[in-house]
Every structure is written in C-alpha cells, then in structure tokens.
Structure 1
Amino acid sequence: MNEILNESLIEKLTENEKRVYSYVTENIKSIENLKIKEIAKNTFTSSATVVRTAKKLGFKGYKELIYKIVNKKTILECNVIGQRFNIKNEEQLNEMIELIDNGKIMLYAEGLASAIVLYIYEKLLLAGKNVELFNSPVCRLMLNNHDVEVDYDAIIIVSRLGKGDISLKIAEYLKGLGSKVVLFTSNKKSKLYDSADLIFEYKEHSDGSYENYYPTSFYGYTILFFEELFKLYFEKKYSFMKKKSELVQSLEK
C-alpha cells in the first residue's frame, strides 16, 4: 500500500485517523460499498474524522481515497500480473484496458505463441471488441503491398524470445502508421523489445538463448495475465455503469 500512500503522511495521523486508515486497508473487498457514516461507526470515530483522514493522506476526500485503494489492491491481488510480469505502474495496465475497451486491435504471433494469440482473439470477440487476427501469409501481403489500407490503434504481439523477423517488420511498419506496439515477451534483449511502446515482460529472465522446446511457463501465464486483465476491465466497466445508473436515478427523483 506504500506505493499509493506516503509513509510519512501515515505516521502523522492521529490515533483515531490511523484506526480509520487501518480499517479501510484491511477491508478492501467490502469498503467500496460502505458509506462514510458506516466507516465512522465501525471505527468508533466520526464522519469528520474519516474525511480528515483522507485529506491528510493527500486526497480530495473520502471517495478518492477509497477509489485509489480499491483499484490498487485489485491489481496487487492479481498474482499473475503483479508477480509474474514486470509492470512499471498502474497507468500501464489502465492503458491496456483502455485499448481493449475502445481500440481497434491487431493480434500477431508465430510458432507456439500462435495458440495464445488465438485464445486472446476469441476472448476479445466474445466481449464484442474490435479485433483482427493475422497469420503470417496475410502479414507478408500487407508488408509487401503498402497500398493496403490499415488503421489499428494497437498491435499486440506475443513473442517469448522476440526473435521473429516478421514480428519485427510488422511492429515497425504499423508503428510508422501510428499504431501502438504492445509486446508480451520474456526477452528484453531483442530488437522487438526495443521497438515496442507498451511492454509486459514475463519474469523468466531469458537472454534469448533458450529454444522453445525447453520447458517454459511463459505461454500459460500469458493467458492467465489476460484473464486477470479481463477481470479488471469488467470490474471497472460495471463499477462505472453502476455509478452512472445511480446518478441518473438520483436526478430523476
């Protein structure tokens, strides 16, 4: 939780305020649905104390504090995302969720990774997303014929070692047209890694010397990553829809 809140700010809280903070951080799963009066009652404090706690911690108010803690905890609880992949910050995941929600996406992979991309493709189609799956022959045609019109917000490439020449050519070509290159890999010493805009590096610490026939958990955990990502996506989507519905109902009264 220290990634959200400054430790020095927590130390400056009074005993009552620390009790509020402890209660909020220890009841992540239920806290989002509790009203401020309920927090005050459960901590034997007051609504004013709850608000004051939030402001002392650098937030505009109680709602912003809860939002930040709930969303950060959700990400930290995703073991596959937080423990298996190097994630720079929460914004990196939010950017990926935004691409899934509103972007036109192209998916590409070669070899063993093709099965992973096919799974992701089917998953996005079921969710009604704007996604296309390209195989090697189609991609070669696109690269060799620059008159072919392409307009993608992002291309997602799954490549454990990042060695595919075609993957690199596709990434550089679409990047030149304004597409964002998203890469899932375990090798940061590849040209494909250097050309990517949004990178999710699997913590395998591969230097690119391992062949794909050796045992690896990269492919399985990449699928699990997307499952956790879809979970975050739907949680945010339905949370927003719920709040919007409540606002409309309040305005109609």
Structure 2
Amino acid sequence: MNIQPAESLDTLLQSLSHEKILIHGSGFSQLIAQYIYNKFLVTGVNASLALWPDYEILEQKTTAKFDSIWIISKSGRSSSALNWLKALENKNINIVCFTGDYQSPLATQANTAFIIHDPQKYDDDIYWSNPFFGYCILGFEHLLKLWFNQKTKGA
C-alpha cells in the first residue's frame, strides 16, 4: 500500500477521533465500505455509510454535514466514484480513497489516496481472481494499527 501524498497520513490519523466521516463504495467496493464502516463503529469513529451512487440526493435529504468522505473504488474511475467527485467539487470536504490506480481521477483529486496493489487493473468487471479487495482490508487494518499506536503515544 502506498499513500499519496505521504505527508497527509498524520493529519488523517489525528482526524479520526473527531471528524464525522461518510464512507461510500458501490459494486464489490461496497463490501470494503461496509467493513470500514463496521470497524469504525466498534472503534468509536463517528462514521456513516452510503451505498447508493448519488451524493447529491444524500446532501439534499439530510442535514448531516461530513468532514470527510471516504470512497472505495478499484479503478478510481467508476461512474459512481466520478459522480461523487463531481458532486463534492468546491464543497471543502476532505476526500480519502482506496483505489488500485494512482493515476485515476479519484486518486489525483483525493486529499489522501491509499493506493492498493491491483494485479488485474483492467478487469473492471472483476471477472478474474484478484486480491485487491483483500489488500484493501489489510491496508485499512494497518491504518487502524497506526491510529491506535498514535492514540497510545498521545495518552
């Protein structure tokens, strides 16, 4: 797992204790979004989960304001991810992503991008065996470990 930009990691870790986070993923990525959401719930992070593809509807129908949006997209260019990016333009909301393509629109526009190894980068239908989603979970668990270590040192 690579993080771009690497210097954004400390700020991200510090924000987990006080930010309101919205997590989104569609298709197979929704499984990872659900996992991250569940882990945040049991660790006390203020998180919500949105699996539908349209952020604008969510924004219109809820009064909740989010400090950051976490988007999971294997390609970083799915229609759902691109729709969310477009809806978040000029909203001053921190974007965090897990993606397999460091050059994707999602990775390049995110404030923090976790770039996960994807040996089947061009298999958009997820037809072939691919460890990408497992690597996402491992990467997220590593992130939690870093956060726990940071909290322990600060206590």
Q: How would you bin the TM-score normalised by the shorter chain?
A: 0.7 to 0.9
| Aligned ranges 1:34-113 → 2 under 5 Å | 85-88=1-4, 91-113=7-29
Q: Secondary structure of the residue that 2:95 maps to in structure 1? A: strand
Q: Flag as ranges the 4+ runs of structure 1 deviating above 4 A.
A: none
Match for residue 184 of structure 1 among 98, 116, 131: 98
Report deviation, 1:198. Answer: 1.2
Three-state SS of the structure 2 residue aligned to 1:166 is helix
Aligned: 1:135 with 2:51:
yes
Q: 1:189 to 1:87 in 2, by over 3 A?
A: closer
Contact 2:82-2:106 at 8 Å conserved across structures: yes
Match of 2:122 in 1: 209
Q: Distance in 1 between matches of 2:34 and 2:63?
A: 23
Distance 1:196 1:87, change over 3 A: closer
Q: 1:171 to 1:98 in 2, by over 3 A?
A: farther
CA distance in 2: counterparts of 1:102 and 1:171, whole angstroms: 23
Structure 1: distance between partners of 2:20 and 2:145 = 20
Shift of 1:100: 1.7
Bigger helix fraction: 1
Q: Which residue of 2 aligns with 1:232?
A: 146
User: Are the aligned partners of 1:99 and 1:153 in contact in 2 as well (CA < 8 Å)?
Assistant: no
Amino acid at match of 2:136: T
Counterpart-to-counterpart distance in 2, 1:197 and 1:158: 14
Shift of 1:191: 2.5
- Output the CA distance in 1 between the equivalents of 2:53 and 2:102: 27
Report how far residue 205 of structure 1 moved: 6.3
Which residue in 1 is equivalent to 2:32?
Answer: 116
Q: Does 1:162 align with 2:100?
A: no
Counterpart contact for 1:155–1:171, Cα < 8 Å: no
Partner of 1:251: none
Distance 1:134 1:162 in 2: 17
8 A Cα contact 1:155 1:179, kept in partner = yes
Structure 1: stretches of 5+ with no match in the other structure? 1-84, 242-253
Matches of 2:52 and 2:88, distance apart in 1: 15
Q: Is the 2:72–2:97 contact (alpha carbons within 8 Å) kept by the matching residues of 1?
A: yes
Aligned identity (percent) is 29
Q: In structure 2, give the amino acid aligned to 1:209.
A: Y
Is residue 171 of structure 1 aligned with residue 66 of structure 2?
no
- Bigger relative contact order, structure 1 or 2 (CA pairs below 8 A, ≥6 apart): 2
Change (3 A) 1:175 1:102: farther
Note closer, same or farther for the CA distance 1:107–1:88 as it changes in structure 2 (3 Å cut): closer
TM-score by length of 1: 0.54
How many residues align? The count is 154
Instruction: Extract unaligned runs of 5+ from structure 2.
Output: none
In angstroms, what is the RMSD of aligned CA positions?
Answer: 2.3
Answer 1 or 2: which has greater strand percent: 2
For residues 101 and 153 of structure 2, the distance between their equivalents in structure 1, rounded to whole angstroms, comes to 36
2:112 is aligned with 1:198:
yes
